[in-house]
């Protein structure tokens, strides 16, 4: 991974995503025709949340030639505090990490880890408090995949992730906001937030079905 990490302390775009839920980001995706949903990658601990710039690690089928000659610890040490490591597991159903790696990531100040593999030592990771999103538990280590490349475009949970993309993850799942579309997404969300507020007031205030449907229809209309 490159040592030229993004400086998140001054990342104003990232900060605007800080309190947004994946649901309203999804609504913006639908308006813009974007796709970036991970399939079945969920939090280890309910209530976990990640909003951070992605750094990526690609795993692939073992061939023992041209593989990435680095340890997970070495790779994580090159990330900046506040970044999230996103690992594309190369299709394995086994675990790629446990509580020692999570502890190192936590010590390094990472925002969390997202992987479409499974994980082990989950009770230890729960106690640690580092947000970890994965596809569940497995004690079997991976024997059919190896680390291939770092800081490249990867596939994780069926979504494409590029270094610098914004990861928004919560109880409902993980979204990947393309770095070059982040401002467009935020622009749509400003309008969608007003629509959601109007919808809530209409429902609580006893509005008719027709009135509610009229407001709901606005969610699909692209803000000019």
pLDDT of residue 10: 61
DSSP 12-29: HHHHHTTT--HHHHHHHH
Same domain, 194 and 108: no
What the block records as the tokens of 42 is 């969920």
pLDDT of residue 4: 40
**169 has which bridge partners?**
50, 174
pLDDT of residue 153: 98
Per the CB < 8 A criterion, the answer to whether 132 and 102 are in contact is yes
Same domain, 200 and 164: no
**DSSP code at position 142:** P
Same domain, 16 and 48: yes
pLDDT of residue 67: 82
Inside any domain, residue 2: no
Measured between alpha carbons, how far is 90 from 86 in angstroms, rounded to an integer? Answer: 12
**DSSP code at position 8:** G
Q: CB count, 10 Å around CB of 26?
A: 18
pLDDT of residue 6: 45
Q: What is the pTM of this model?
A: 0.91
How many folded domains does the chain comprise?
2
pLDDT of residue 158: 97
Inside any domain, residue 131: yes
Same domain, 174 and 204: no
pLDDT digits (tens, 9 = 90+) for 168-220: 999 999 999 999 999 999 999 999 999 888 888 999 999 999 999 998 898 88
pLDDT of residue 3: 40
3-state SS class at 64: coil
pLDDT digits (tens, 9 = 90+) for 61-117: 998 888 888 999 999 999 999 999 999 999 999 999 999 999 999 999 999 999 999
Same domain, 69 and 138: yes
Inside any domain, residue 1: no
pLDDT digits (tens, 9 = 90+) for 162-181: 999 999 999 999 999 999 99
CATH number, domain of 125, equals 3.50.30.40
pLDDT digits (tens, 9 = 90+) for 5-20: 444 446 899 999 999 9
Same domain, 172 and 192: no
Inside any domain, residue 137: yes
What the block records as the tokens of 16 is 């605007």
Q: Which domain holds residue 194?
A: 184-220
Residue 120 has pLDDT above 50, yes or no: yes
Inside any domain, residue 35: yes
Same domain, 90 and 200: no
Q: What angle do CA 141, 82, 123 make, to 5 degrees?
A: 40
pLDDT digits (tens, 9 = 90+) for 20-67: 999 999 999 999 999 999 999 999 999 999 999 999 999 999 988 888
Between strands 118-119 and 145-150, the pairing is unpaired
Inside any domain, residue 3: no
Measured between alpha carbons, how far is 94 from 22 in angstroms, rounded to an integer? Answer: 27
Per the CB < 8 A criterion, the answer to whether 85 and 198 are in contact is no
pLDDT digits (tens, 9 = 90+) for 124-166: 999 999 999 999 999 999 999 999 999 999 999 999 999 999 9
Same domain, 101 and 41: yes
Same domain, 140 and 172: yes
Same domain, 122 and 193: no
Q: CB count, 10 Å around CB of 112?
A: 24
pLDDT of residue 1: 44
């Amino acid at each position: 991974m490159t040592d030229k990490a993004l400086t998140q302390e001054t990342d104003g775009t990232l900060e605007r995503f800080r309190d947004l839920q994946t649901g309203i980001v999804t609504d913006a995706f639908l308006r813009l025709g974007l796709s970036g949903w991970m399939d079945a990658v969920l939090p280890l601990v309910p209530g976990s949340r990640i909003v951070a710039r992605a750094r990526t690690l690609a795993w692939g089928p073992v061939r023992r030639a041209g593989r990435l000659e680095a340890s997970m610890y070495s790779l994580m040490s090159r990330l900046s505090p506040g970044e999230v490591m996103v690992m594309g597991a190369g299709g394995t159903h086994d675990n790629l990490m446990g509580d020692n790696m999570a502890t190192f990531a936590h010590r390094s100040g990472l925002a969390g880890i997202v992987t479409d593999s499974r994980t082990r030592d989950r009770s230890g990771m729960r106690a640690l408090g580092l947000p970890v999103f994965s596809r569940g538990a497995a004690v079997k280590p991976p024997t059919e995949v190896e680390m291939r490349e770092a800081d490249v475009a990867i596939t994780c949970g069926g979504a494409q992730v590029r270094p610098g993309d914004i990861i928004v993850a919560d109880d409902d799942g993980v979204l990947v906001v393309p770095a070059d579309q982040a401002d467009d997404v935020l622009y749509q969300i400003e309008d969608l937030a007003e629509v959601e507020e109007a919808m809530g007031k209409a429902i609580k205030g006893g509005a008719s079905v027709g009135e509610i449907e009229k407001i709901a229809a606005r969610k699909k209309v692209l803000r000019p």
